[in-house]
Amino acid sequence: MKRHRYTIPALLFATALILRLVFFFIMLSDLGADHLIDQYQDPIKYVRAAEFLFGRADIGKTELYLVGPGYPLLIGLCTPGGSSAFWPVLIIQIILSTFTCVLIYRTALFLLGNSWIATTAGFLAVVSPTSISLANAVVSETLFFFLQVLSLYLFFKAIGKNQWRIAVFAGLTGGATVLVRSAAMLFPLVLIISGLLMPVVTSAIPRRQIVIKSIVVALIMLALPTLWGVRNLIVHDTFTVSSTGLLAAKTYLAAKVTIEGEKRHIREFKQIRDSLYQVSLANYEQNRYKQDQQESMNMIKSTFSRHPSLFIKHYLLMVFYNSTSISSLQHVQIPGYSASIRSIERIVHGSFFNPAVLAMSLLGFVVLLRINFATAFMLLLPVLYFAFISGVTFGQGSRIFFPAMITQAILVAVTLVFTYDLALAGKQALRRIYSKRSS
């Protein structure tokens, strides 16, 4: 498929932008501009954190500790003077989400050199319901995903073209990613493993240089969040980027295991979860950050030691549920259209979980494995990373596993193109058989 080098990216960009803007205007007409942050809890946390970060309000100290500085920084910059209009944040996110689709296309093209696969991967990102709805929500996922995709694309480009300047930008972008969501804190390990796997295309770029660059990018990626961790150590006596992950592990995973381990009714889960969360909030308000961190870790450890098999079971179940969950945020964003959307979902999905995309990802990995062992594993690593990092919480639809689309879209595209080629080859074989019989 030969196209001008800018034609396909331009088409992907234009289509993605139109879809996200259409959703934006439908949401505004349904909710109204004054209700962009009061339909669910997370936006309020980010807004309060932004107000505290920019010194506009005394409240928000706890929220900033919970979520980290990355996304509140974007909100604060988009709402000068403490403006209550949040649509500028969404416009920025729509643009970032649109660029992300092009970056996924570029990443696939750079790694695989196949225009069909790259275009399909970009198109999957364009039409993703999760991507479209999150671009129109005052939550951190869109900024996080854009920075994550950009960082990984720059990383692959820096390694493949042996350019230190790009490697530094990849590390800095990756560090900003961690400041937005601490879930990426361990992602440098993925980069180092990818450096070990990266094929040596030319003797001009020896394996040693590739590995060194990977390690340097990983170290730079850790540098920025380390500075914020030191800040929290000084201010809160705890070295952490944000407490969301640990808090989720305590209030969701540990609570779930405790309910089943002590043979209590499942209806008690919500009460226990909310109680544990309120205890942590109370500790934060009393500046007992270090004590709360230690108590949370102790509870998680003790829960595991008392019920190890149940702990592993529920962790793996959460991994599976999160990696197969469908998009659900749109029901809150455009409630007037929720009934129609649910009718479509019942036809397409049938339930809140759909393993089809995950299955196609794994099939794409198997197909690619036979062609390019190293690249197949490099594409699978982010999917595995975000799958296993998601096992501490649940109940948020496809949001939690959304960052995996960074390479999952490429693996699914491999499956779709492979299936198309297989069907085409079968059709041609049948034609040859039929023509021989006819003659």
243 DSSP assignment: S
Q: Determine the residue type at 60.
A: G
Written as one string, the DSSP assignment of 259-324 is: HHHTT--GGGHHHHHHHHHHHHHHHHHTT-HHHHHHHHHHHHHHHHHHSHHHHHHHHHHHHHHHHH
Q: Are 153 and 110 in contact (CB under 8 A)?
A: yes
Residue 400 carries which side chain, given as an amino acid letter?
I
Q: Residue 124: which of 438, 410, 322, 338 has the closest Cα?
A: 410
Asked if 101 and 51 touch (Cβ cutoff 8 Å), the reply is no
Q: 5 is written with which tokens? A: 């080098």
pLDDT at 1: 47
Smallest CA-to-CA distance from 47 within 89, 9, 13 is with: 89
Cα distance between residue 203 and residue 206, in whole Å: 6
| Cα–Cα distances in angstroms (integers) from residue 187 to residues 171, 177, 388, 389, in the given order | 11, 10, 12, 10
Q: Which residues contact 91 (CB under 8 A, 6 or more apart)?
A: 24
Query: Quick one: pLDDT at residue 201?
Result: 53
Contact 407, 380 (CB under 8 A): yes
The burial of 70, by beta-carbon neighbours within 10 Å (0-12 exposed, 13-18 middle, 19 or more buried), is given as: buried
Tens of each residue's pLDDT in the chain, 439 residues: 455 578 999 999 999 999 999 999 999 999 888 888 888 888 999 999 999 999 888 889 999 999 999 999 999 999 887 777 899 999 999 999 999 999 999 999 999 999 999 999 999 999 999 999 999 999 999 999 999 999 999 999 998 888 899 999 999 999 999 999 999 999 999 999 998 887 665 455 677 888 899 999 999 999 999 999 999 999 999 999 999 889 999 999 999 999 999 989 888 898 999 999 999 999 998 999 999 999 999 999 999 999 999 999 999 999 999 999 999 899 999 998 888 888 888 887 767 788 999 999 999 999 999 888 889 999 999 999 999 999 999 888 899 999 999 999 999 999 999 998 888 888 777 777 777 666 6
Name residues whose C-beta falls within 8 Å of residue 319's C-beta, 6 or more positions apart in sequence.
387, 388, 390, 391
Q: Among 349, 374, 379, which Cα is nearest to 362's?
A: 379
Backbone angles phi, psi at 436, to 5 degrees: -65, -40
- What is the reported pLDDT for 144? 97
Alpha-carbon torsion 275, 392, 327, 133, what sign?
A: positive
CB-CB neighbours of 164 under 10 Å:
12
**Cα dihedral sign, 375-171-218-124:** negative
Quote the DSSP letter at residue 393: -
Which residues are bridge partners to 353 per DSSP? 325
The confidence score (pLDDT) of residue 192 equals: 92
Enter the pTM of the model.
0.93
Q: Rounded CA gap, 315 and 322, in Å?
A: 11
Alpha-carbon gap, residue 49 to 72, rounded angstroms: 6
Tokens representing 373 are: 């062992």
Q: Which residue has the tokens 């409630």?
A: 335
d(C-alpha 45, C-alpha 230), whole Å: 22
302's tokens:
């003790």
Q: Is the dihedral of CA 141, 144, 146, 152 positive or negative?
A: negative
- Using CA atoms, how far apart are residues 341 and 357, in angstroms rounded to an integer? 19
Closest by alpha carbon to 36, among 130, 133, 131, 138? Answer: 138
Q: How far apart are CA 314 and CA 317, in angstroms?
A: 5
Between CA 147 and CA 68 the distance in angstroms is 15
Q: What one-character DSSP code corresponds to residue 68?
A: -
What tokens appear for 159 in the block?
A: 């390694």
